[in-house]
Structure formats: structure tokens, C-alpha cells
Amino acid sequence: MSNSTVLQKETSKVHQEVIEANQKYVSEFGKKGELALPPARSFTILTCMDARLDPAKYAGLSEGDAHVIRNAGGRASDDAIRSLIISHKLLGTKEFFVIHHSDCGMALFTDQIIRNLLEKSLKTATVDSNGWRNLEESGGSDEAKFIPFLTFESLEKSVVDDVKRIRNHPLIPKDIPVYGYFYDVKTGKLVEVEEATKIGRAI
């Protein structure tokens, strides 16, 4: 790859791999440039950013099919709800899926733990039998106290809570069904959280 192809001259191996993969993708892009802006299958998935989850594969998606909103934990944060509102109001989606997953990192710490870590250091922390700790403690910030990290203890309860928040939001129409599932990272199966789906039923 020529250094002239990117503005950032100092690149990592991963950066180079991404640019090269994109060049290959462009060469095979075909007619995808003709896809319409609204998702063809008129639904949205809210799910976790975990690298083991591939919504295109576990939900059978192709480019142009659906909106996929991802964040840490797949939580119904203010920003996720902002995206859901736009997805429906301006782009016509009619069904929402909330999909969390087993073995989620968001259940391995609390808001207070990450705030304490960040207050002392911005470097990546580590975890062992004694819990989370910084490898070095310098250059931290107390700005984390203003961020709700939306950690949780119970996987199924987190799905229920998020479906409930979406269902009860005044800017989400009641005729949109909100389904609640979690993805089993050991099998690839989507497991329905029945209480969540009952709460999310369209009216």
C-alpha cells in the first residue's frame, strides 16, 4: 500500500490491514451504491459492541437490510434511544430487537469500579483474582463521575430493563413491538427473554 493513499503517514499494522481490506471491498462493491437509505426490512437491532457478535450473521442481514445500533452492553442509553427514534420517525423502521449476550464484560465491573480506575489512570487496566487494578497510576481524571456506564449484574434483567425503557419512552410509538433476546456466545443462539418480549408487545 502506498503511503500516499492516506493522510496519516505513520500507520499501524492494523490500520494498514483495514485500508487494504477496504480496497478489496471497493473492488467488489457492485451495485451496493444503489441501495436505498431506509432499511429494506424495516427493523432495528440494539446490541453490544462485543467483537464476538456479528449481527449480520446471527440475524441474517445483508447491506441495506436493517439498522444496527451498538454500544457497550447493548444498553438503551439516551443516545441509543435517540437513534431508535430517528430510525422509526425518519427512516420507517417498524420493529425493534434488543439483543444482549452471555459472558458480557459489562457484568464484570460496576460504575464505581471504572470511575475509581479512571480517576487514577487512563491506561488500560487489568483484572485478576483480586479484581480490577491499574498497571500504573498517573494521569487520571475524575470526569468519569459524570458518565453512566450502565453496568449490570443480571443478564436477563438488563434485557427487561432496556425493553421497558424503550417501551415506556414518550417518543417511541406504542405500536412498535420491542423484542428482548440475548445471544449465547457459546452456541450462537438467540434466546428469548419472555418477560422482556411481553413488556415490549405492540399495543
Q: Which DSSP string do the residues of 62-88 spell out, in sequence order?
A: -TTS-EEEEETT----HHHHHHHHHHH
Side chain identity, residue 88: H
Is the overall model pTM greater than 0.95, yes or no? no
Q: Is 101 annotated as a binding residue?
A: yes
Q: Is 48 annotated as a binding residue?
A: yes
CA torsion 44-46-48-54 (nearest 10°) is: -20
Q: What is the pLDDT of residues 75-108, one digit of tens each?
A: 999 999 999 999 999 999 999 999 999 999 999 9
Asked if the model's pLDDT at residue 8 lies above 80, the reply is no
> Cell for 195?
418477560
Residue-range domains of the chain with CATH = 36-109+151-200 (3.40.1050.10), 111-146 (no CATH)
CA-CA distance, 40 to 63, in Å (whole number)? Answer: 9
Asked if the model's pLDDT at residue 72 lies above 60, the reply is yes
Q: What is the pLDDT of residues 16-30, one digit of tens each?
A: 999 999 999 999 999
CA torsion 82-84-85-89 (nearest 10°) is: 140
Q: Is 104 annotated as a binding residue?
A: yes
